[in-house]
C-alpha cells in the first residue's frame, strides 16, 4: 500500500529533480529522502527513479506515481484551505518576495491594510529578482511573489504558477531638464544612441529589458553607471551625466528631470505570482488587498 508520507516526499523529488533539492524543501536530510523513496519503490514494486547527471529522472512507473502524488498534494492543500475557511479565521505566516521598487508603490501599503484587516496574519518579506524568487515560490519557501514584466522582456513562470497582472506603467526616457531634447513630445531610442546611460546591475529584469529595448532599435548602450535604485539614477540624469529608461510612477516629479515618452511605447507590468490550487486564506486575503491598493 502506498503511504501518504512517502508520496509527499516523492512529489517533492519529482518536482525539483533531485534528492538534495527535495530534502532542502522538506527540511530533512538527503539520506532520509532516499530511504523514503526506496520504501516507496518496494511498495510500488517498481523502480521510480533513475540517475540523470547530478539529479534524477522519473521512470515510466515514476511518472504514474508522480502524477498521483501531485494530485494528492494539491488535494491536501485544498482541504487545508477549506478548513481554515470553515473556521472563519485568516491567520498564520505569509511569506512574500518582491522586487525593490514595488515596496513603496504597492507592497508596503498593501501590507499595512492587511495588518489592519487581519491582525493574525504574520507577514515576512524578501526583496530580489524574479529569477531568484520564482523558484522559491515553486519550492514553497515563499507564498507569493510580486514581479515585473516589461513589454520588451516578458516574465516567464513555470507550470502550475499563476500570474495575475496588477498595474501597467508607461516606461519613459529620462533626461536632464536642461538637455537639448528635453520637453519633446516623444523620442525614439535611436535619437539618444550616443548618450551615456545608467542602468540597474546586469542580471536584473530592468537591466535586461532596457538592453532588449535598445537592441531592437540597433542601439548598444554605453552604460557607465550601474545603480540599482531609481532615485540615485535620477540624480545622475538631473546632472546630465546619463539618461535611462524608467517606469513613470517611480520617478514622477523628480526635480531637474524631463520624462519623455518613447516611440514605440514600452510598458512595465507589476504582477503577483502564486502557486495554483494550494493557496491558504492568508494568501487569498493578501491578493485581495493587493488588488484594492492597485486599483486605488
> Three cell numbers at 264?
514605440
The burial class, CB within 10 Å (0-12 / 13-18 / 19+), for 56 is buried
pLDDT at residue 66 greater than cutoff 60: yes
Using an 8 Å Cβ cutoff, are 234 and 257 in contact?
Answer: yes
Number of domains in the chain: 3
Under DSSP, the state recorded for 200 is P
Residues 175 and 158 in one domain: no
Can you give the residue range of the structural domain that contains 60? 4-86
> Three cell numbers at 296?
486605488
Task: Tell me the pLDDT tens digit for each residue of 90-142.
Answer: 888 999 999 888 888 899 999 999 999 999 999 999 998 888 898 888 878 89
Residues 134 and 151 in one domain: yes
Assign residue 148 the CATH number of its domain: 3.40.190.10
Residues 135 and 42 in one domain: no
Share of residues in the chain with pLDDT > 70 (%): 95
Q: Give the mean model confidence (pLDDT) for residues 169-188.
A: 94
Residue ending a domain, choose from 86, 113, 139? 86
| H helix or E strand, kind and range, residue 145 | strand 144-150
Number of DSSP helices (H) and strands (E) in the chain, helices first: 11, 10
pLDDT at residue 1 greater than cutoff 80: no
Residues 195 and 107 in one domain: no
Q: How many angstroms separate the CA atoms of 235 and 237, rounded?
A: 5
Q: How many angstroms separate the CA atoms of 221 and 105, rounded?
A: 28
How does residue 83 score in pLDDT terms, banded at 50, 70 and 90? low
Assign residue 195 the CATH number of its domain: 3.40.190.290
Residues 180 and 161 in one domain: no
Residues 80 and 106 in one domain: no
Residues 58 and 141 in one domain: no
Residues 139 and 215 in one domain: no
Residue ending a domain, choose from 35, 59, 86? 86
Beta carbons within 8 Å of 93's beta carbon, 6+ residues apart = 121, 122, 123, 124, 143, 282
| H helix or E strand, kind and range, residue 71 | helix 60-87
Per-residue CA distances from 78 to 74, 81, 278 (Å): 6, 5, 6
pLDDT for the residue numbered 81: 61
Strand bridging mode 92-98 / 121-127: parallel
> Three cell numbers at 155?
516574465
- Could you tell me the pTM of the whole model? 0.71
Average pLDDT, the chain: 88
Assign residue 46 the CATH number of its domain: 1.10.10.10
Q: How many angstroms separate the CA atoms of 188 and 171, rounded?
A: 13
Residues 96 and 223 in one domain: no
Task: Tell me the pLDDT tens digit for each residue of 275-287.
Answer: 987 678 899 999 9
- For every residue of 236-272, DSSP letters joined together read HHHTTS-BEEEEHHHHTT-TTEEEEEEEEEEEEEEEE
pLDDT at residue 154 greater than cutoff 80: yes
Strand partners, 52: 55
Residue ending a domain, choose from 56, 86, 116? 86
- Residue 234: helix, strand or coil by DSSP? helix
Using an 8 Å Cβ cutoff, are 277 and 156 in contact?
Answer: no
How does residue 265 score in pLDDT terms, banded at 50, 70 and 90? very high
Residues 176 and 241 in one domain: yes
Under DSSP, the state recorded for 153 is B
Residues 147 and 76 in one domain: no
Residues 235 and 213 in one domain: yes
Amino acid at each position: 500500500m502506498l503511504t501518504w508520507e512517502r508520496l509527499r516526499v516523492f512529489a517533492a523529488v519529482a518536482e525539483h529533480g533531485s534528492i538534495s533539492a527535495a530534502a532542502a524543501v522538506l527540511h530533512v536530510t538527503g539520506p532520509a529522502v532516499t530511504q523514503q523513496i526506496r520504501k516507496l519503490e518496494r511498495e510500488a514494486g517498481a523502480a521510480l527513479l533513475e540517475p540523470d547527471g547530478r539529479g534524477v529522472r522519473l521512470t515510466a512507473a515514476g511518472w504514474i506515481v508522480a502524477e498521483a502524488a501531485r494530485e494528492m498534494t494539491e488535494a491536501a492543500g485544498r482541504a487545508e484551505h477549506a478548513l481554515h475557511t470553515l473556521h472563519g479565521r485568516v491567520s498564520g505566516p505569509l511569506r512574500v518576495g518582491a522586487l525593490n521598487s514595488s515596496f513603496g508603490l504597492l507592497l508596503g501599503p498593501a501590507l499595512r491594510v492587511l495588518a489592519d484587516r487581519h491582525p493574525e496574519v504574520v507577514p515576512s518579506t524578501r526583496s530580489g529578482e524574479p529569477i531568484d524568487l520564482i523558484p522559491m515560490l515553486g519550492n514553497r519557501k515563499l507564498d507569493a511573489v510580486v514581479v515585473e514584466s516589461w513589454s520588451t522582456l516578458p516574465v516567464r513562470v513555470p507550470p502550475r504558477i499563476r500570474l495575475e497582472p496588477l498595474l501597467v506603467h508607461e516606461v519613459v526616457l529620462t533626461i536632464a531638464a536642461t538637455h537639448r531634447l528635453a520637453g519633446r513630445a516623444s523620442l525614439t531610442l535611436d535619437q539618444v544612441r550616443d548618450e551615456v546611460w545608467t542602468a540597474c546591475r546586469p542580471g536584473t529584469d530592468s537591466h535586461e529589458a532596457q538592453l532588449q529595448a535598445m537592441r531592437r532599435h540597433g542601439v548598444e548602450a554605453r552604460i557607465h553607471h550601474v545603480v540599482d535604485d531609481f532615485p540615485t539614477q535620477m540624480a545622475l540624469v538631473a546632472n546630465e551625466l546619463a539618461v535611462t529608461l524608467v517606469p513613470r510612477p517611480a520617478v514622477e516629479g523628480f526635480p531637474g528631470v524631463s520624462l519623455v515618452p518613447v516611440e514605440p511605447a514600452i510598458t512595465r507590468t507589476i504582477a503577483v505570482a502564486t502557486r495554483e490550487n494550494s493557496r491558504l486564506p492568508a494568501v487569498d486575503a493578501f491578493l485581495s488587498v493587493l488588488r484594492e491598493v492597485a486599483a486605488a
